[in-house]
Amino acid sequence: MAKIGVWIEMGQDGVKEANLGVLTAAAGHEVYALVCSGDAEGCREVCGKYGAAKVVALAAESGALWDSPDLAARALAAAANEFDLQVVTGLGSLNGRDLLARTAAILDAPLLQDCTAVDFTAGTVEKSHFSGKTVARFECRAPLWLCSLRPNAVEPQESPVEAEVVSYTAPVSGSGGVKVLEVRRDSSGVMELTEATIIITGGRPMDSAENFQLLHECAAELGAAVGASRAAVDAGFAPHSMQVGQTGKTVSPRLYIACGLSGSVQHFAGMKTSKVIVAINTDKDAPIFGKCNYGIVGDLFEVVPVLTEVLRERA
């Protein structure tokens, strides 16, 4: 059984749901949930439900950790030594990849980012290479190593244990070299694509930014995020932050609904690890029908409103 530290990323409403897959991957080992920001006591129940017996309220002698990634990294590195951890892991979000890279540098330990699978018993991880065309498998032999997991790569599964909160103040001084002054949310106010468990995406035939409202309405019923193909982004129908694909975001949701997408290799490079893919396309011979789990031959402007209506009635 390995000693694994899982960095817990907080969202607006507490522990981000995407952390649960990381905790699930570590469950069965001696898991320390490492909470740098927010209320560790408030995280105890959910961390315990997903297998973490210890929830560490991390603090630094010099002050708050939440607004300084380098102080947080120094505190994480100190915690790794204090609790004799063999692995430090966390969500491969923007913040997670930044924080784990800093922590690995301080610990002078190997780091594998954006892993799509991990086996902590064998010390192996998998990473997707060349836009998903190959999968590379790594064995980590160092006594301490770090990895970030792609959001939604591991399906959350409860494995409840009794969790206790432990306080640890890291011997970290100074105010940190980098301080976060302000966090601006995406002006569209939509859910972060890379962490969404359901995504509905629009392609070129959306034809205007206004028509994307159709997808936003359906997404509201599904609890989904809205994505776009590059063709839709290049045409100015959606911002680049919504682009999925080789030159956009890589996503791995449980359900991906592709509305008016031909199924280009560049788009697939960013969403091929989706668990279930549903395609809506007017052309029965569109390449996307050879790559999806369920296909609907039809006009998205007719099919999506019906789907939204059915979901509304069921709510």
Please tell me the distance from the alpha carbon of residue 137 to that of residue 29, in angstroms, as a whole number: 21
Complete DSSP assignment for 37-100: SS-HHHHHHHHHHTT-SEEEEEEETTB-STT-HHHHHHHHHHHHHHTT-SEEEEE-SHHHHHHH
In the chain, how long is the greatest CA-to-CA distance?
63
* Least spacing, CB of residue 228 vs ligand FAD, in Å: 8
Residue 45 found at the interface with ligand FAD (CB under 6 A): no
- Tell me the residue number closest to ligand FAD, measured at CB: 245
Our CB check for ligand FAD shows the closer of 113 and 211 to be 211
Please tell me the distance from the alpha carbon of residue 82 to that of residue 42, in angstroms, as a whole number: 23
* Least spacing, CB of residue 267 vs ligand FAD, in Å: 3
Instruction: Give the 3-state secondary structure of residue 192.
Output: coil
Which amino acid makes up residue 90? G
Beta bridge partners of residue 134, listed in sequence order: 129
* Least spacing, CB of residue 238 vs ligand FAD, in Å: 10
Our CB check for ligand FAD shows the closer of 155 and 283 to be 283
User: If binding means CB under 6 A, how many residues of this protein chain bind ligand FAD?
Assistant: 28
* Least spacing, CB of residue 215 vs ligand FAD, in Å: 12
* Least spacing, CB of residue 211 vs ligand FAD, in Å: 10
Residues 194-233 that bind ligand FAD (CB under 6 A): 203-205, 229-232
Taking the alpha carbons at both ends of the chain, their separation in whole angstroms is 44
Instruction: Give the 3-state secondary structure of residue 220.
Output: helix
- Annotate each residue in 251-280 with x if it binds ligand FAD (CB under 6 A) or - if it does not, as one string: ---------xxx-x-xx--x---------x
Q: Does residue 281 contact residue 295 with C-beta atoms inside 8 Å?
A: yes
Our CB check for ligand FAD shows the closer of 62 and 201 to be 201
- Annotate each residue in 290-309 with x if it binds ligand FAD (CB under 6 A) or - if it does not, as one string: ---------xxx--------
Residue numbers at the binding site for ligand FAD (CB under 6 A): 203-205, 229-232, 243-248, 260-262, 264, 266-267, 270, 280-283, 286, 299-301
